[in-house]
């Protein structure tokens, strides 16, 4: 993705460890950046974090885990900075969208925390982009990775991202919530919107029929099982 000189100047302030947020805010407060500029910079930042992680891993085969990028830690602070200046969570630019691209961040639990910020700001958990529907594709990825995962850390990040997505989807479409996505355990009533607070839960895998595994979600305080997929 090619940046304009102004976009590149903003991007350079962010692509640091840690990001230079004061200087970035000075640029943003000048009024020279449109919401599209801000969204493009945020989208490129997330994409570059994933690419940086891949490059540092020097992957030679599919069994080697993906290492996180050192720039990942700045994602949430950058999103907080850019949202008031017009960052659009639902924007699709050159076929890419920030909600989708966050799925590939491998640092716990950056993708889930960043997703929560964007959905709380009005992002759509049911977003359609070229290639599919966000919540449907994420559920499919989760289902595939229960047996095909090659990196448990990456899978853990994806499941927590999925929890946040389920929580906001259930909140926005309570009458249309597909229970097949999240089968609520029978022990006691559980509101799936609580999954927005993904850090309050942990999960495990149990072997089901035909070598498929079931994801079982538990409350950290009570240790009760609250959901299954």
pLDDT per residue as tens, the chain (229 positions): 789 999 999 999 999 999 999 999 999 999 999 999 999 999 999 999 988 887 766 654 556 667 788 999 999 999 999 999 999 999 999 889 999 999 989 889 999 999 999 999 999 999 998 778 999 899 888 888 887 777 788 899 999 999 999 999 988 887 666 544 455 555 566 788 999 999 999 998 887 666 678 888 898 998 888 888 8
The CA distances from residue 223 to 166, 189, 203, in Å, are: 20, 15, 10
pTM, two decimals, is 0.91
Residue with tokens 């945020």: 42
Domain count, the chain: 1
124-128 — which CB contacts under 8 Å span 24+ positions? 124/89, 124/90, 124/99, 125/99, 125/165, 125/168, 125/169, 125/172, 126/169, 126/172, 126/173, 127/90, 127/97, 127/99, 127/100
Q: Which residues partner with 217 through β-bridges?
A: 203, 227
Cα torsion angle, 140, 146, 149, 152, sign? positive
Report residue 197: phi and psi, to 5°. -90, 70
- Looking at residue 177, its pLDDT comes to 60
pLDDT of residue 210: 65
C-alpha pair distances (Å), 106 with each of 24, 46, 48: 25, 11, 13
Q: 117-130, pLDDT tens digit by residue?
A: 999 999 999 999 87
In percent, the amount of the chain with pLDDT more than 70 equals: 87
**How high is the pLDDT of residue 102?**
95
Q: Which domain holds residue 108?
A: 5-228
pLDDT of residue 146: 83
Judge contact between 105 and 111, C-beta under 8 A: yes
The 3-state secondary structure of 193-217 reads HHHHCHHHEEEEEEECHHHCEEEEE
- Rounded to an integer, what distance in angstroms lies between the CA atom of residue 206 and that of residue 208? 6
Q: Alpha carbon of 179 to those of 19, 77, 94: distances in Å?
A: 41, 34, 33
């Amino acid at each position: 993705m090619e940046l304009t000189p102004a976009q590149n100047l903003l991007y350079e302030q962010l692509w640091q460890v840690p990001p230079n947020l004061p200087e970035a805010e000075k640029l943003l407060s000048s009024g020279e950046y449109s919401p599209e500029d801000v969204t493009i910079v945020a989208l490129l930042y997330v994409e570059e974090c994933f690419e940086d992680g891949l490059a540092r891993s020097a992957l030679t085969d599919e069994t080697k885990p993906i290492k996180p990028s050192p720039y990942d830690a700045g994602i949430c602070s950058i999103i907080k900075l850019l949202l008031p200046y017009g960052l659009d969570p639902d924007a699709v630019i050159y076929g890419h969208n920030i909600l989708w691209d966050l799925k590939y961040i491998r640092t716990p639990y950056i993708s889930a925390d960043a997703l929560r910020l964007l959905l709380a700001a009005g992002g759509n958990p049911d977003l359609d982009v070229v290639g599919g529907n966000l919540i449907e594709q994420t559920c499919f990825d989760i289902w595939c990775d229960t047996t095909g995962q090659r990196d448990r850390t990456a899978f853990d990040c994806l499941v927590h991202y999925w929890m946040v997505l389920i929580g906001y989807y259930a909140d926005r479409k309570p009458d249309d919530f597909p229970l097949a996505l999240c089968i609520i355990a029978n022990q006691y009533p559980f509101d799936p919107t609580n999954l927005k607070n993904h850090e309050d839960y942990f999960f495990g895998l149990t072997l089901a029929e035909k070598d498929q595994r079931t994801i079982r979600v538990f409350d950290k305080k009570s240790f009760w099982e609250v959901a299954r997929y």
